[in-house]
Amino acid sequence: MFFQTNILTVTVLSYMLIKFIPAIGWLRNYPREHLSGDLNAGVTVGIMLIPQGLAYALIAGLPPIYGLYAALVPVLIYALFGTSGQLAVGPVAMVSLLVATGVSDFAPSGSAEYIQMAILLAFLVGLIQFLLGILRFGFITNFLSHPVLSGFTSAAALVIGLNQLKHLVGLPIPRSGGVFEILKYVAVHVAQIQIPTLVIGLAGIAIILILRRLTPRFPGALIAVIVATLAVWTMELEGVGVAIVGSVPVGLPVPSISFFSVNAIRELLPIALAISLVGFMESIAVAKAFASKNRTTINPSQELTALGLANMAGSLFHSYPTTGGFSRSAVNDQAGAKTPLASLVSAGIVGLTLLFLTPLFHFLPKALLASIVMVAVVGLVDVREIRFLWRSNRSDLALLALTFVSTLVLGIEKGILIGVASSVLTFIYQASRPHMARLGRIDGSDVYRNIERYSEAHIDRGIAIFRIDASLFFGNVEFVRDALSDFLDSNDTTKVLILDLYPVNRIDSSAQHAMFDLHRKLSDGNVHLLLSGVKGPVRDAFENSGLSTLLGEDAFFLRIDDANQRALAIAGSYLDDGPAEDNSAS
Amino acid sequence: MFFQTNILTVTVLSYMLIKFIPAIGWLRNYPREHLSGDLNAGVTVGIMLIPQGLAYALIAGLPPIYGLYAALVPVLIYALFGTSGQLAVGPVAMVSLLVATGVSDFAPSGSAEYIQMAILLAFLVGLIQFLLGILRFGFITNFLSHPVLSGFTSAAALVIGLNQLKHLVGLPIPRSGGVFEILKYVAVHVAQIQIPTLVIGLAGIAIILILRRLTPRFPGALIAVIVATLAVWTMELEGVGVAIVGSVPVGLPVPSISFFSVNAIRELLPIALAISLVGFMESIAVAKAFASKNRTTINPSQELTALGLANMAGSLFHSYPTTGGFSRSAVNDQAGAKTPLASLVSAGIVGLTLLFLTPLFHFLPKALLASIVMVAVVGLVDVREIRFLWRSNRSDLALLALTFVSTLVLGIEKGILIGVASSVLTFIYQASRPHMARLGRIDGSDVYRNIERYSEAHIDRGIAIFRIDASLFFGNVEFVRDALSDFLDSNDTTKVLILDLYPVNRIDSSAQHAMFDLHRKLSDGNVHLLLSGVKGPVRDAFENSGLSTLLGEDAFFLRIDDANQRALAIAGSYLDDGPAEDNSAS
Q: At what angle do helices B366-378 and B220-235 cross, to 10 degrees?
A: 160
pLDDT of A576 above 60: no
B395 CB neighbour count, 10 Å cutoff: 12
> Which of A128, A441, A474 to substitute to test the interface with B, most B CBs within 10 Å?
A474
* Nearest chain A CA: its distance from B11 CA (Å): 23
Query: Quick check: B425 and A140 CB within 8 A?
Result: yes
Query: Quick check: B545 and A424 CB within 8 A?
Result: no
Predicted local confidence at residue B408, as pLDDT: 87
Query: Quick check: A140 and B453 CB within 8 A?
Result: no
Dist CA B315 CA B261 (whole Å): 13
* Nearest chain A CA: its distance from B85 CA (Å): 17
Dist CA B341 CA A251 (whole Å): 81
Query: Quick check: A469 and B473 CB within 8 A?
Result: no
B450: chain A residues, CB-CB within 8 Å: 502
Helical segments of A236-340, H only: 262-293, 300-316, 326-334
Q: Look at chain A and count its residues.
A: 586
Query: Quick check: B485 and A544 CB within 8 A?
Result: no
Query: Quick check: A470 and B144 CB within 8 A?
Result: no
* Nearest chain B CA: its distance from A358 CA (Å): 43
Q: Percentages helix, strand, coil for chain B, rounded to the nearest 5?
A: 65, 5, 25
CB contact, 8 Å: B508 with chain A?
A: yes
CB contact, 8 Å: B176 with chain A?
A: no
Dist CA B157 CA A250 (whole Å): 63
pLDDT in tens, A109-150: 889 999 999 999 999 999 999 999 998 888 877 777 888 888
CB contact, 8 Å: A382 with chain B?
A: no
- Picking from B469, B521, B541, the nearest residue to A469 by CB comes out as B469
- A214-to-A173, A210, A218, A355, B48 alpha-carbon distances in Å: 35, 6, 9, 32, 84
CB A439 within 8 A of CB A560: yes
- Picking from B428, B471, B544, the nearest residue to A139 by CB comes out as B428
Predicted local confidence at residue A4, as pLDDT: 58
Dist CA B395 CA B149 (whole Å): 15
| Chain B residues 119-148 within an 8 A CB cutoff of chain A | 137, 139-140, 142-147
> Which of B146, B453, B523 to substitute to test the interface with A, most A CBs within 10 Å?
B146
- Picking from A266, A307, A322, the residue whose alpha carbon sits closest to that of residue A128 is A307
- Picking from B277, B189, B164, B469, the residue whose alpha carbon sits closest to that of residue A470 is B469
More confident residue, A319 or B148: A319
B402: chain A residues, CB-CB within 8 Å: none
Query: For A294-299, which contacts have Cβ atoms below 8 Å and span 24 or more sequence positions?
Result: A294/A85, A294/A86, A294/A333, A294/A338, A295/B489, A295/B521, A295/B524, A295/B525, A296/A85, A297/A83, A297/B485, A297/B486, A297/B489, A298/A83, A298/A84, A299/A83, A299/A138
Q: Is A398 helix (H, G, I), strand (E, B) or coil?
A: helix
A492 CB neighbour count, 10 Å cutoff: 10
Query: Quick check: B509 and A140 CB within 8 A?
Result: no
Q: Look at chain B and count its residues.
A: 586
CB contact, 8 Å: A559 with chain B?
A: no
DSSP structure string for B304-372: HHHHHHHHHHHHHTT----EEEHHHHHHHHHTT--STHHHHHHHHHHHHIIIIIGGGGTT-BHHHHHHH
B427: chain A residues, CB-CB within 8 Å: 428, 431, 473-475
* Nearest chain A CA: its distance from B404 CA (Å): 17
> Which of A392, A417, A452, A471 to substitute to test the interface with B, most B CBs within 10 Å?
A392
Predicted confidence band at A290 (pLDDT cuts at 50, 70, 90)?
confident
pLDDT in tens for each of the 586 residues of chain B?
A: 455 566 667 777 777 777 778 888 888 888 888 898 899 889 989 988 998 899 999 899 999 999 999 999 999 999 999 989 899 999 998 899 999 988 988 999 889 999 999 999 999 999 999 999 998 888 877 777 888 888 988 888 888 888 888 899 988 888 765 778 888 888 899 889 999 999 999 999 999 899 888 876 677 888 898 999 999 999 888 888 888 888 888 889 988 888 888 888 888 998 999 899 889 988 888 888 787 777 677 888 899 999 999 999 999 999 999 999 888 888 888 888 899 999 999 999 999 999 999 898 889 998 998 898 888 888 778 888 898 888 888 888 999 999 999 988 888 778 888 888 888 888 888 888 888 989 999 888 888 888 887 888 888 889 999 999 888 988 888 889 889 988 988 888 899 999 999 888 889 888 998 898 889 888 888 899 999 989 888 998 899 889 999 999 899 998 899 999 999 999 887 765 544 443 333 3
Q: How much of chain A exceeds pLDDT 70, in percent?
A: 95
B585 Rama sector, left if φ>0, alpha if ψ -120 to 50, beta otherwise: beta
Residue of A nearest to B143 (CA): A475
* Nearest chain A CA: its distance from B510 CA (Å): 5
* Nearest chain B CA: its distance from A145 CA (Å): 5
- Picking from A319, A314, A264, A324, the residue whose alpha carbon sits closest to that of residue A289 is A324
* Nearest-5° Cα angle at A124, A119 to A126: 95
Is this prediction's pTM over 0.95? no
Query: Quick check: A525 and B142 CB within 8 A?
Result: no
> Which of B140, B149, B284, B427 to substitute to test the interface with A, most A CBs within 10 Å?
B427
Residue of B nearest to A538 (CA): B392
Residue of B nearest to A542 (CA): B392
CB contact, 8 Å: B438 with chain A?
A: no
A147: chain B residues, CB-CB within 8 Å: 509-510
Helical segments of A82-163, H only: 93-103, 112-134, 146-163
Dist CA B26 CA B38 (whole Å): 13
> Which of B469, B547, B561 to substitute to test the interface with A, most A CBs within 10 Å?
B469
* Nearest chain A CA: its distance from B401 CA (Å): 14
Residue of A nearest to B483 (CA): A297
Dist CA A62 CA A84 (whole Å): 29
- Picking from B231, B157, B161, the residue whose alpha carbon sits closest to that of residue B199 is B231
Query: Quick check: B478 and A435 CB within 8 A?
Result: no
More confident residue, A308 or A526: A308
Predicted local confidence at residue A566, as pLDDT: 93
DSSP structure string for B145-167: -HHHHHHHHHHHHHHHHHHTHHH
Query: Quick check: A435 and B503 CB within 8 A?
Result: yes
B424: chain A residues, CB-CB within 8 Å: 424
Residue of B nearest to A434 (CA): B470
- Picking from B392, B475, B544, the nearest residue to A391 by CB comes out as B544
Query: Quick check: B508 and A393 CB within 8 A?
Result: yes
CB contact, 8 Å: B489 with chain A?
A: yes
Predicted local confidence at residue B157, as pLDDT: 86
> Which of A273, A277, A297, A393 to substitute to test the interface with B, most B CBs within 10 Å?
A393
CB contact, 8 Å: B83 with chain A?
A: no
* Nearest chain B CA: its distance from A15 CA (Å): 20
| Chain B residues 530-549 within an 8 A CB cutoff of chain A | 533, 541, 544-546
Q: How many CB pairs under 8 A join A and B?
A: 189
Residue of B nearest to A475 (CA): B142
Element (H, E) at A557: strand A556-557
ipTM summary value? 0.73
* Nearest chain A CA: its distance from B152 CA (Å): 15
Predicted local confidence at residue A17, as pLDDT: 74
Query: Quick check: B435 and A297 CB within 8 A?
Result: no
Dist CA B300 CA B83 (whole Å): 9
A563 CB neighbour count, 10 Å cutoff: 24
Dist CA B518 CA A559 (whole Å): 35
CB contact, 8 Å: B212 with chain A?
A: no
Distance in angstroms between the alpha carbons of the first and the last residue of chain B: 58
* Nearest chain A CA: its distance from B162 CA (Å): 29
